């Protein structure tokens, strides 16, 4: 089973779904699919094992964390990161 992001195209909001599995979403409603993806990368836990309250608290922590633009592409990254994951991959490919 994997976690997928389901995005509502008209308003851009997104939710998490577990596939394959029952047809229902879990966790908070995200502002965008990008926010949901970044939250999943940041979260040190499997969100399927968390209560709704825990996920809501973790989303608040995620939204309040210090961030800055990635020097490579300008995407928002954690303040203590050197560059985003995509720029890390590109940099690693170019370093070889």
Q: Please compute the mean of the pLDDT values over residues 40-55 and round it to a whole number.
A: 94
| Parallel/antiparallel/unpaired status of strands 76-78 and 67-69 | antiparallel
8 A C-beta contact, residue 41 and residue 48: no
- Give the tens place of pLDDT for each residue, 23-41: 789 999 999 999 999 999 9
Q: Which helix (H) or strand (E) holds 28?
A: strand 25-30
Domain boundaries, the chain: 1-65, 66-96
Q: How high is the pLDDT of residue 56?
A: 96
> Helix, strand or coil for residue 44?
coil
């Amino acid at each position: 089973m994997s976690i997928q992001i389901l995005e509502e195209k008209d308003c851009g909001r997104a939710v998490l779904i577990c596939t394959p599995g029952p047809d229902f979403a879990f966790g908070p409603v995200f502002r965008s699919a990008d926010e949901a993806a970044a939250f999943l990368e940041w979260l040190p836990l499997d969100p399927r094992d968390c209560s709704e309250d825990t996920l809501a608290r973790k989303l608040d922590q995620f939204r309040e964390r210090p961030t800055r633009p990635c020097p490579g592409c300008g995407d928002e990254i954690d303040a203590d990161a050197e560059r985003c994951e995509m720029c890390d991959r590109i940099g690693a490919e170019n370093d070889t």
